[in-house]
């Protein structure tokens, strides 16, 4: 905290003319004050699976998850997303990585490393992103490389 305060002082004096740096999610409220985040109004619930931006991305959740119990007694997500429930629920069963422990052993039950699903998978909301994102996926990079005349002689 002390370090953050020091850094705050440096940026405040260092960039006097430019727009002061602040966290877009909490606004200009001072560090020691608590802000009231806006309520997420209307989670996306269209059941349309989204493209993953890269192969290792945890897919985002295309359905509502409010009220789903995930604690030491019960995992509501696995009530639909486990291997054996897929036929009834028509949910995509969790992949093999979700059954592996940190030593690479494949377990019979969901691994504790993957128990709390929303650590990695998130529901979506029709909100404007706070921060501009210039990420390009590998397909668009390949396409750009192919369109570059310098690479014309190379085969894809």
Minimum distance between the CB of residue 138 and ligand HEC, rounded to whole angstroms? 15
Are the CB atoms for 96 and 106 separated by under 8 Å? yes
Residues in a beta bridge with 43: 125
Minimum distance between the CB of residue 115 and ligand HEC, rounded to whole angstroms? 6
Minimum distance between the CB of residue 88 and ligand HEC, rounded to whole angstroms? 9
76 binds ligand HEC (CB under 6 A): yes
CB-facing half-sphere around the CA of 1: CA atoms within 13 A = 3
Angle at 100 between CA 95 and CA 102, to 5 degrees: 135
121 marked ligand binding residue? yes
Contact code string over 21-60 relative to ligand HEC, x by CB under 6 A: --------------------------x-x------x-xx-
- Size, binding site for ligand HEC by CB under 6 A: 34
Alpha-carbon distance 73 to 2, whole Å? Answer: 40
Does residue 100 sit in helix, strand or coil? strand
63 marked ligand binding residue? yes
Are the CB atoms for 120 and 58 separated by under 8 Å? yes
Cβ nearer to ligand HEC, comparing 8 with 62: 62
Please pick, from the candidates 97, 106, 136, 140, the single residue that binds ligand HEC as defined by CB under 6 A. Answer: 97
95 binds ligand HEC (CB under 6 A): yes
Quick count: other Cβ atoms within 10 Å of Cβ 60? 15
CB-facing half-sphere around the CA of 57: CA atoms within 13 A = 12
Cβ nearer to ligand HEC, comparing 15 with 57: 57
Minimum distance between the CB of residue 38 and ligand HEC, rounded to whole angstroms? 22
Quick count: other Cβ atoms within 10 Å of Cβ 116? 13
> Which residues are annotated binding-site positions for heme c?
63, 77, 80-81, 98, 117, 120-121
């Amino acid at each position: 905290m002390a370090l953050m305060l020091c850094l705050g002082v440096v940026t405040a004096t260092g960039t006097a003319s430019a727009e002061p740096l602040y966290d877009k999610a909490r606004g200009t409220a001072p560090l020691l004050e608590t802000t009231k985040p806006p309520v997420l109004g209307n989670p996306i619930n269209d059941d349309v699976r989204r493209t993953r931006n890269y192969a290792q991305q945890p897919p985002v959740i295309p359905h509502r998850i409010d009220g789903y119990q995930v604690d030491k007694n019960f995992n509501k997500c696995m009530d639909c997303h486990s291997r054996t429930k897929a036929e009834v629920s028509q949910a995509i069963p969790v992949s093999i990585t979700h059954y592996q422990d940190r030593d690479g052993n494949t377990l019979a039950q969901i691994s504790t490393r993957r128990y709390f699903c929303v650590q990695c998978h998130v529901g979506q909301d029709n909100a404007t992103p706070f921060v501009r994102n210039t990420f390009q996926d590998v397909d668009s990079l390949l396409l750009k490389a192919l369109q570059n005349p310098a690479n014309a002689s190379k085969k894809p």
